[in-house]
Structure 1
Amino acid sequence: MSRAQKAAETGLISPAARDALQTWLDHQRSLKGAAENTLTAYQGDVADFLAFMTVHKAQSQGLGALASITITDMRSWMARTRGPDVGPRSMARKLSAVKAFYRWLAEREGFEPTAVLSTRSPKFQKKLPRPLAVDAAKALIDCVEIQSERPWVSARDVAVLTLLWGCGLRISEALGLLGRDAPLPATLRILGKGGKERVVPVLPAARDAVAHYLELCPHPQMTDAPLFRAIRGGPLSPRAISKVMADARMQLGLPATATPHAMRHSFATHLLDAGGDLRAIQELLGHASLSTTQAYTAVDTARLMEVYNRSHPKAG
């Protein structure tokens, strides 16, 4: 049972507010293509907000009452929500969900949502991803190649990491490939977060690595079965690849930030360093926002200005 359902059953969310929340979630799913994990987070965050307002105001929060939320009410909610388990980043996410819901609700019901939308998000330091140097990425793959006593397992792990680094795939996207995807073509059509589809070029090195793994894999490849298999033939888990990288980075003396996702960061960073265009890299990574790509690639101001000056129409 979801938090929204529990809150509704205990009377902390009015039927009208519950129905409005569900309609908004359906809207996010069908029209905006929000992922299920995102919808679950939205539902919990907004349900907690609505339940708090019922207790805070000591009355059921129907749609009319929700339209009269004040800045003081918002501050009370934030003060009550913040705690040891809810840091600035989590609080900012919750506030973002509430604002998105209110923006939609205000437009539908015709009220002014200024008190909610003007509430300031807590400041927090964004953690920039730490990509690997080219030599470190190569060393990791070389180390992984000799880790397992089973040659096919070593080939499998090398193939997965080569896809992360060479194609910029998320670990879930690489492990989501099926038998029908092999042999890998020159380009892959990847379904990423939120159902966003993108086309990714596949380097010859990645195609060769996957082909070598398939030659050695003892499990029969079936069209609808996972391309990458665990020891007993089941689907390979992200945890298994994380452990492989953990063992390799310990041998090489690399930091704990050398994770499977760091290979994806490295893909973007190395492309940018080689003169790649930010917009093109954004498309390859499947990011909805260019700002996300800038964070992944650890773009500094000087580098960003160089790209701007080269690409802007007035630069010439």
Structure 2
Amino acid sequence: GFLQAVKGTRNRVALMTTYAVGLRAAEAARLQVTDIDSSRMVIRIEQGKGGKDRYVMLSPQLLEILRVYWRLTKPGRWLFPRRDGRGPIHPQTLGIACRAACEFLGIEKRVTVHTLRHSFATHLLEAGTDIRIIQVLLGHRSLATTTLYAQVSTAVIGRTA
């Protein structure tokens, strides 16, 4: 699949995390090891786009992936550090990793980090999750923003039915 085609353990796990919990690229890039709360099974997203902290669900599967990643890489403060270890990766690094995976797989369609976030929301919506819960998980201030995801999802479903 797409995520398996992402080169580099750090980039692959960062994009898996992005998709698994619906993060923005900048939010994934800035994750710190201490943001992972395995006792409460949540991830703290510090100062998201709206300037407020929020918590997102941490699935047992993602926790296991993160634990293996941590044991392999011992990342220090930043969960996804730059190569020199002095700070978090740049969000653009994840975008570059997405493009490279698309090229490797021969995918012509534009797939971005935001596409993974959008897929997260769409899959929840298609599974019957209340749109207000999705709004909170995505960190949208306005329900109208989340509703845009629903409209796109409905349009796609209409075309494929």
**1:245 partnered with 2:103:** no
Instruction: Determine the structure 2 residue equivalent to 1:306.
Output: none
The 1-side partners of 2:139 and 2:147 are apart by 13
AA matched with 1:230? R
Equivalent residue of 1:193, what SS? coil
1:196 counterpart residue number? 52
**Residue correspondence of structure 1 range 118-157 to structure 2 within 5 A:** 139-144=1-6, 147=7, 154-157=8-11
Query: Highest CA radius of gyration, 1 or 2?
Result: 1
- 2:113 & 2:147 partners in 1: Cα distance? 19
Q: Distance in 2 between matches of 1:210 and 1:241?
A: 17
The aligned amino acid for 1:195 is G
Aligned match of 1:187: 42
Greater helix content? 1
1:227 correspondence with 2:79: yes
Change (3 A) 1:193 1:291: same
1:260 aligns with 2:113: yes
* Structure 2: runs of 5 or more not aligned: none
Q: What is residue 174 of structure 1 aligned with on the other side? A: 28
Q: TM-score, normalised by structure 1?
A: 0.44
Question: Which deviations, in whole Å up to 9, do the C-alpha atoms of 1:40-84 show, x marking residues without a partner?
Answer: xxxxxxxxxxxxxxxxxxxxxxxxxxxxxxxxxxxxxxxxxxxxx
Question: Match of 1:300, SS?
Answer: helix
Per-residue CA deviation, residues 244-282 of structure 1 (Å, 9 max, x unaligned), is 111111122223521111100000001111111111111
Secondary structure of 2:56 counterpart? strand
TM-score scaled by length of structure 2: 0.83
Give the match's secondary structure for 2:107: coil
Matched residue type, 2:122:
T
Which residue of structure 2 aligns with residue 277 of structure 1? Answer: 130
Q: Deviations over 1:146-186 (max 9, x none)?
A: x3xxxxxx322222111111101111111111132346550
Equivalent of 2:66, from 210, 222, 239? 210
- Distance in 1, matches of 2:69 and 2:112, equals 21
Change (3 A) 1:231 1:189: closer
1:226-253 deviation line (CA, Å, top 9, x unaligned): 2211222232111211111111111222
Letter aligned with residue 166 of structure 1:
A
Q: Distance in 2 between matches of 1:279 and 1:262?
A: 20
Matched residue, 1:160: 14
Shift of 1:295: 1.4
After superposition, residues 31-50 of structure 1 pair within 5 angstroms as: none
Q: CA RMSD in A?
A: 2.1
Distance 1:183 1:215 in 2: 16
Gaps of 5+ in 1: 1-138, 148-153, 304-316
* Structure 1 residues 214 and 256, CA gap change in structure 2 (3 angstroms): same
Conserved 8 A contact 1:169-1:285: yes
Identify which of structures 1 and 2 has the higher relative contact order when contacts are C-alpha pairs closer than 8 Å and 6+ apart: 2
